[in-house]
Structure 1
Amino acid sequence: MKKSQNDTSRQPKKKSTLISKKYGAILIVCVITGFIIGFSYNLSKDKRTLSSASPQFEQENQYMEDLTGKQERNKELADELAQLEEKIRMYEKQFSSNETQYEQNRQDAEQLRLLLGLTDGIGQGITITLQDGDYNPKTTNPNEYIVHESHIFKVLNELKIAGAEAISINGQRLKPNSYIVCNGPVITIDGQQYPAPFVIEAIGNQDVLISSLELTGGVFDQLLNEQIVVTLETNDLIEMKTVSDE
């Protein structure tokens, strides 16, 4: 009889433990289910938020792309500007060089026109007069005291070497191709005859012209040794007309 009561008293306890485990499992399932539901809700909320904000992100993205494109274009323009500035500097350098060359060419052309007698000769210079020497009856050759074209040529050549810009003899302007011939006591210049004394005018640097003529053993010493009377003067203003006006 006792044994039967003890077995009966153990059965409710075992049933209570089973129920307790069942509710615990249900609770765990509910917690997990709630977590999943909450996570899904937050995820969908984040998706909605991201979806609603995506146009703004796209606009900002577009702005960034535009800014990057403009920066690249600005760099290209800066490079083009640097190249153009370099070209300008090169052109300025060439222009400066050409301007200097042009001025030199202009001066050379003007000097050539002056030497050709195509422009009036005006400026400082010197006047050289060559006269026949005093005749000595004891000499056998009177031509030794006469001014010849060789004497004139010596003076003319030295004046040209010294940089004379324009030269005339007895008022007649000489050209580069002028010819001079001696005919006894007179000389013929380009077909025109002139008697002694022969007055040679030269436009140019006075000091240079005089120094070249008065060199020791130079032209003047040679003329004096050949009995030619030589006089030299400086002139502050000598004027020579163009060849075509003569």
Structure 2
Amino acid sequence: MKVKGNHVILSLVALVLGFMIAFSYNLTNKERAKPDYKDKSWDREFQLRNKLIKEEEKTRDLQAELIEKQGELTSIEKKLANEANVYFNLAEDAEKYRMFLGKIKVKGEGVEVTLSDGMTENNNDNINQYLVHERHVFKVINELYISGAAAVAVNGQRINQNSYIVCNGPVITVDGQQHPAPFVFTAIGDADVLESSLNLAGGVKDQLVNENIIFTIEKKDKVILEPVLGS
């Protein structure tokens, strides 16, 4: 009975060992049948790396396209800036032309020149030698424009490129409007320059004074000239 009991124990031990060996063998075969984990991980990394490289290439292409578009945009902006400058200059020129044509109201510093008929105590003198004539008016207006006046008016009436001035006895007709003496010329421009030009030795002032015309000039900080009325 004792020998038989040992045989039973040994048999059980042998059975357990056999089972463990069989289980281990089976598990090993299954693991060998599966793909290697490291190999699978490397494949996944390789795929991701290739995908990343492709995305980087797309990014570089997009960056190159962006730089090209930015260059085109810069060119367009420069072109628009040049056009804006051209249009600004055209608008500025148009404003100057409107001002010279007397189409708009203007204001600024300037001068006020007054021409009055001269006086004589000798009744035998020719009165026409003491009156302001159209030539005197032209001298003042021309000198003002030559000296840089932007706009000129006579007795408040704007002068433009089509203005005509005619002497009719003791009055001056400007564009059909009669004005008696004294004649007041208002001009917009650099007041110092305008005053100096008219006061030059041997200039307009001296010429008019020598022809018995009373001449006065005054600088103005603010001169306002209304636009030309009518057509």
TM-score normalised per structure 2? 0.71
| Superimposed CA distance per residue, residues 76-117 of structure 1 (whole angstroms, 9 cap, x where no aligned partner) | 111111122223333333344444444333332222222222
Provide the C-alpha distance between the structure 2 equivalents of 1:115 and 1:106, rounded to a whole number of angstroms. Answer: 14
Q: What residue is the counterpart of 1:83 in the other structure?
A: 68
Q: Does the residue aligned with 1:243 lie in a helix, a strand or coil?
A: coil
Count of aligned residue pairs for this structure pair: 199
Q: What residue is the counterpart of 1:234 in the other structure?
A: 219
Which of 201, 208, 231 is the matching residue for 1:216?
201
Q: What residue is the counterpart of 2:178 in the other structure?
A: 193
1 or 2, which has the higher helix percentage?
1
Provide the C-alpha distance between the structure 1 equivalents of 2:196 and 2:165, rounded to a whole number of angstroms. Answer: 25
> Comparing 126-135 with 99-108, which one deviates more in the overlay?
99-108
> Comparing 60-69 with 234-243, which one deviates more in the overlay?
60-69
Which of 209, 221, 225 is the matching residue for 2:210?
225
AA aligned to 1:244 is L
2:102 corresponds to 1:117? yes
Identity of aligned residues (%): 44
AA aligned to 2:96 is Q
AA aligned to 1:216 is A
2:154 corresponds to 1:162? no
Provide the C-alpha distance between the structure 2 equivalents of 1:217 and 1:72, rounded to a whole number of angstroms. Answer: 83
AA aligned to 1:243 is V
Cα distance, 1:238 vs structure 2: 2.7
AA aligned to 2:169 is G
Q: What residue is the counterpart of 1:176 in the other structure?
A: 161
Q: Does the residue aligned with 2:160 lie in a helix, a strand or coil?
A: coil
Provide the C-alpha distance between the structure 2 equivalents of 1:201 and 1:227, rounded to a whole number of angstroms. Answer: 22
Q: What residue is the counterpart of 2:192 in the other structure?
A: 207
Provide the C-alpha distance between the structure 1 equivalents of 2:97 and 2:176, rounded to a whole number of angstroms. Answer: 24
Q: Does the residue aligned with 1:143 lie in a helix, a strand or coil?
A: helix
CA radius of gyration, larger in: 1
Cα distance, 1:134 vs structure 2: 2.6
Give yes or no for contact 2:192–2:219 (8 Å, CA) kept in 1. Answer: no
Q: Does the residue aligned with 1:237 lie in a helix, a strand or coil?
A: strand
AA aligned to 1:214 is N
Cα distance, 1:52 vs structure 2: 10
Distance 1:70 1:139, change over 3 A: farther
Cα distance, 1:139 vs structure 2: 7.5
TM-score normalised per structure 1? 0.67
Provide the C-alpha distance between the structure 2 equivalents of 1:203 and 1:180, rounded to a whole number of angstroms. Answer: 20
Aligned pairs for 1:95-114 within 5 A: 95-114=80-99
Which of 45, 53, 56 is the matching residue for 1:68?
53
AA aligned to 1:231 is T
Cα distance, 1:220 vs structure 2: 1.5
Cα distance, 1:55 vs structure 2: 7.1
Which 5+ residue runs of structure 1 have no aligned equivalent? Answer: 1-47
